[in-house]
Amino acid sequence: MAHRPIPSRRPEALLALLLALVATAAPLAAAELDPEPILRGLARPAPSRTPFVELRGSAMLKQPLRVQGEYRREADGRLVRQGTSPYAETTTLGSGEAVIERAGRAPRRIALAQVPELAAVRAGFGALLAGDRELLLRTYDVHASGQRERWTLRLVPRDPRLAAGLRQIELHGRGSELRCVESQPARGELQRTLMAGAAAQAAGVEDPAALAALCRDPAA
């Protein structure tokens, strides 16, 4: 029987990130050497939008599911994930709940408190876009590596309860462009989302290795 406990909930972490969505960009004080300019460069005034290509792998699937669409940060701070292919689905993250709308179905409402990974992963870069460094650093240990034009940010959850479900998130980018999010759950497969320029380049690319390369090596 496929019964396992629902992954532990960590409301603080996701709340922090959610708040970050709504928060205005705070002036950044100099602290760590590397991440600061990157974080500063990633902050975008709302509203903003960016295309994505997400690859969802599962032991139950023959090959990863590929979903395309765009992320939008609305003026009121909500983060919208609008999938357009292979089917239409809109997820709106706001005031503590996610609303999932599909064509011909009643909207499904899910409290973010129940799926901290949802908020931690999906809204992680939303916090970056909002530029709330303080909340981000409270939730994650942030390590930067690479160069200014080809960087990687590694976010490791500080809270052990969140860490029980999520090992780390890696963000790859170029200058002020976030190009890929890789999240590694504690159990299960690595999940990859290509964004912005990388999403555009992924059009027509099917090979998993090529997609992975697109994600990790923006210069490629």
Partner 1 sequence: MSGARLPRLGLLLGWLLLLALGGTWLGRGLNVEEDLRRFLPDPRTPAQVLLVDELGEGPGSRLLLLALDGAPPARLAEASLALRAALETAPEIELASNGEDRGLDAVPEHLLPYRYLLSPALRAQALDRHYLAQALEQRLQDLGSPVADLVEPLLPSDPTLETLALAEAWQPPQAPNRQYGVWFDRAGRQALLMVQTRAAGFDSAGQQAAVAAIQAAFARVREGLGEGPAPRLELSGPGAFGVAIRDRTEREMRWIGTADTVGLLLLLALAYRRWSMPLLGALPLASGGLAGLGAVALLFPGVHGITLAFGFTLIGVAQDYPIHFFSHLRPGQSPRASVRALWPTLVTGVASTCIAYATFLFSGVEGLRQLAVFTIVGLAVAAASTRWLLPRLVTPARRDPARSAPLARLWRWIERLPRPRAALGVLALLALAAVALAPGGFWQNDLSRLTPVPPAELERDARLRAELGAPDVRYMLMLQDVDAEAVLQASERLLPVLEQARADGLVEGYDLAARYLPSQASQRQRQARLPAPEVLRAELDAALAGQPFQDDAFGPFLADVEAARSGAPLQPSDLAGTPLQLAVGGLLLEGQGQATALVSLSGVGDVQALAARTGAHGAQLLDLKQASESLVAQWRLRLLAALGAAAVLLAAAVWWALRTPARVLRVLAPMGLSTLLILAVLRLCGVELNLFHLVSLILAAGLGLDYALFFDHAGDDRDDQLRTLHAVIVCSLTTLLVFSLLALSSIPVLRAIGSTVALGVLFNFVLALLVARRPARAEAA
**Residues 19-78 contacting partner 1, CB under 8 A:** 19, 54, 56, 58-63, 65, 67
Q: How far is the CB of 217 from partner 1 (least distance, A)?
A: 25
Q: Which segment (35-43, 110-118, 174-182, 212-220) binds partner 1 by CB under 8 A?
A: 110-118
Which region among 7-15, 135-143, 168-176, 210-218 touches partner 1 (by CB under 8 A)? 7-15
Distance CA 150, CA 180 (A): 12
CA-to-CA distance for 63 and 191, rounded, in angstroms? 13
Neighbours of 120 (CB within 10 A): 26
Interaction of residue 15 with partner 1, rule CB under 8 A: yes
Number of Cα atoms under 13 Å in the Cβ half of residue 29: 3
Q: Is 84 in the site for partner 1 (CB under 8 A)?
A: no
79 bridge partner residues = 73, 93
CB of 19 to partner 1, least distance (A): 8
**Contact present, 172 and 193 (Cβ < 8 Å):** no
Specify whether the CB–CB gap between 175 and 41 falls below 8 A.
yes
Kindly list the residues in this chain that would bind partner 1 in the complex (CB under 8 A).
1-7, 9, 11-12, 15, 19, 54, 56, 58-63, 65, 67, 81, 83, 87, 89, 91, 93, 95-98, 100, 102, 108, 110-115, 117-118, 122, 165, 185, 188
